[in-house]
Amino acid sequence: MGTPSQTELYCAASGNKKFIVRGFGPEPFRITGLLSESNAAIHKAAGRGQPVTQDISLSVRGDKVVCSINGSSVASYDKTALVSSGKLKSTNGYYGLRFAHNTDVFVSLMTTSTK
């Protein structure tokens, strides 16, 4: 991590019921387009600058990469759309966290059993 050639992908939500999926490959790229997208699963803050809680996960399952917010899938992409020139090198590897200014974050790691 922290090298000029690293690639990464992230899903983020705001307090206005919108989300983005973006990445670095190593140059920045957008998956959700120029602007963010709305989704009913995303919580709306009571007002500008007011607190809001969003439960966000980004997972790789089979040939899909899924962004889930507050228990609902808000976006799903084929790996082949993300692992390509100028985007991700792979969906395997390290994971990390990215957050905006003035945020409080609680992190929990969820694993899936293969039994």
**Is there a contact between 31 and 22 (Cβ–Cβ < 8 Å)?**
yes
Closest to 93 in 3D by CA, of 9, 4, 31, 26? 9
Higher pLDDT, 7 or 105: 7
Q: What is the pLDDT of residues 84-108, one digit of tens each?
A: 999 999 998 777 777 777 777 777 7
Q: What percent of the chain has pLDDT over 90?
A: 51
**Cβ contacts of 110 within 8 Å, gap of 6 or more:** 57
Q: How many CB atoms lie within 10 A of CB 50?
A: 9
| DSSP strands (E only) in the chain | 8-13, 18-24, 28-30, 37-38, 56-61, 64-69, 72-78
Of 108 and 56, the structure prediction assigns the larger pLDDT to: 56
3-state helix, strand, coil in the chain (%, to 5): 5, 35, 60
